[in-house]
Amino acid sequence: MDELRHPAWWRIDEILARLVRDLLAAELAAARPGRSLAPAHAWPEEVDLAADLGADSLDLMGAATALADLLGFARAGMQDALLAHTRLADWIAAARASLARDDSVLTFRTSGSSGTPKRCAHPLANLWREVDELARLLPGRRRVLAAVPAHHIYGFLFTVLLPQAGQEPLPVIDLRGASPAALAAQLAPGDLVVGHPDFWNAVAALSPRFPADVAGVSSGAPCPDVTAAALAGGGLRLLQVYGSSETAGVGTREAAGAPYRLLPYWRRGDVENTIERGDERGVERFVLQDRLDWQDDRHFLPNGRIDQAVQVGGANVYPAYVAEVLAMHPDVREAVVRPMRPDEGARLKAFVVPADGYVPSMLRAELNAWIAERLTPPERPAAYSFGPALPRQPGGKPADWIIDAWS
């Protein structure tokens, strides 16, 4: 590995601390969906996870397992290095010590919510290979402004590795505590803004004008064409990246609605819904979560997910799973959950059939409390409709519905 081109990314204190904070915040929030925590970027390194953030032994065990898995503590022989400590500073130090012994592989987890998240191991060399290609597509960057966490693969590539791909590391500014309305005032030529589709939707709704030579990147789900076009009209160069936790980045595009172009080391698989990556060690084949419409052997358009996941706030959520949680409420007979239509919003909506004799207005308040204890914020429906039966088409197939006055 070329040490000048590919530095030991974890040696920069600020970058490693942000990665650890983001993972801990996500794990603590997932352990107790109703928990209220200060934004991770505001945690001082001396914060005590137990005394200051209220983490109990089970919370700490879950967070320690996730961090050790991401960074490969077991390969470094340090799998027991975390639970003896409760200070954030000690967890950062343990992460640094583990990576100093072995930083060859990172294991990201999918953000799915039906069952245990899938583990996706990536050799660091493969991640740097992708970053090298992305850096060539985004020359001249001076700062990175991040609206995504660092512990998911997209955030890791663009807010951890990419800022270190040049001769000098780039500063990384966290946007997650700021309103999209404040973005334009923070921008300068040479900036790269790393966001997800919901973030870009909010920015585009303000019809901003971007300074010259500002680039953006979007991933996690296709950015709506109307959003991408509005951003381009304001002067932003938006690079959209198609990929997943399993594959990392696969292809890129810059024009709204255009096909994605495969990154150079990927090729279309011989088996349907697969892609392949080859090097001197052989060929790896990946089964895709999306159906792809191939324009030719290098260009494609996504055409819906195979696993039925949807994106809310940059996270994968499963409407069928959310409906199952709602249906567990004793006063719910049936429920179905769908993503809102573009004119309704960018969250999930639920249609609920109450148990006999139950008043919808009373049930709605109970359901809000029910889901707050069981679902993460992206999973929680933002609007409810109620009726005596689930909406169906004349032929009996499930149908969409308009959010009604009970919402």
* pLDDT tens track for 372-384: 999 999 999 999 9
**Which of 142, 179, 144 has the alpha carbon at shortest distance from 160?**
144
**Mean pLDDT over each residue of the chain, to the nearest integer:** 90
404, part of any domain:
no
Query: Averaged over 327-342, what is the pLDDT?
Result: 92
CATH classification at residue 380: 3.30.300.30
Are 26 and 97 members of one domain? yes
Are 125 and 146 members of one domain? yes
Query: What domain range includes position 380?
Result: 318-386
**Which of 211, 261, 256 has the alpha carbon at shortest distance from 236?**
211
**Which of 148, 170, 136 has the alpha carbon at shortest distance from 218?**
148
Per the structure block, which two tokens stand in for 303? 């055409």
27, part of any domain:
yes
Query: Averaged over 275-301, what is the pLDDT?
Result: 88
394, part of any domain:
no
Extended strands (E) in 88-212:
105-109, 119-123, 143-146, 172-174, 191-195
Phi, psi of 72 (to 5 degrees): 75, 45
Structural domain ending residue among the three candidates 258, 287, 308: 308
Q: Is the pLDDT of residue 72 over 70?
A: yes
Query: Averaged over 307-321, what is the pLDDT?
Result: 85
Are 336 and 294 members of one domain? no
CB 173, CB 186: distance < 8 Å:
yes
393, part of any domain:
no
Are 120 and 151 members of one domain? yes
**Which of 211, 208, 213, 162 has the alpha carbon at shortest distance from 187?**
211
Residue 278 banded pLDDT, cuts 50, 70, 90: confident
405, part of any domain:
no
pLDDT digits (tens, 9 = 90+) for 92-124: 999 999 999 999 999 998 854 444 578 999 999
392, part of any domain:
no
Give the pairing type, strands 143-146 and 119-123: unpaired
Are 205 and 249 members of one domain? yes
Q: How far apart are CA 238 and CA 230, in angstroms?
A: 11
Q: How far apart are CA 103 and CA 97, in angstroms?
A: 10
Are 130 and 227 members of one domain? yes
Are 66 and 209 members of one domain? no
What pTM was estimated for this model as a whole? 0.82
Sequence-distant (6+) residues with CB within 8 A of 296 are none
CATH classification at residue 249: 3.40.50.12780
Are 85 and 134 members of one domain? no
Helix then strand then coil, % of the chain, to nearest 5: 30, 25, 45
Number of domains in the chain: 3
Q: Is the pLDDT of residue 28 over 50?
A: yes
Are 58 and 81 members of one domain? yes
Phi, psi of 311 (to 5 degrees): -100, 130
Query: Averaged over 325-333, what is the pLDDT?
Result: 94
Are 132 and 192 members of one domain? yes
401, part of any domain:
no
| Residue written as token pair 């012994």 | 101
What 8-state DSSP symbol labels residue 244?
A: E
Are 186 and 64 members of one domain? no
Q: Is the pLDDT of residue 30 over 90?
A: no
Q: Is the pLDDT of residue 134 over 80?
A: yes
399, part of any domain:
no
Are 238 and 352 members of one domain? no
The H or E element that residue 291 is part of is strand 290-294
Res 322: pLDDT = 94
Query: Averaged over 31-52, what is the pLDDT?
Result: 89
Structural domain ending residue among the three candidates 250, 281, 308: 308
Structural domain ending residue among the three candidates 308, 340, 357: 308
* Residue 219: burial class (beta carbons within 10 Å; 0-12, 13-18, 19+): buried
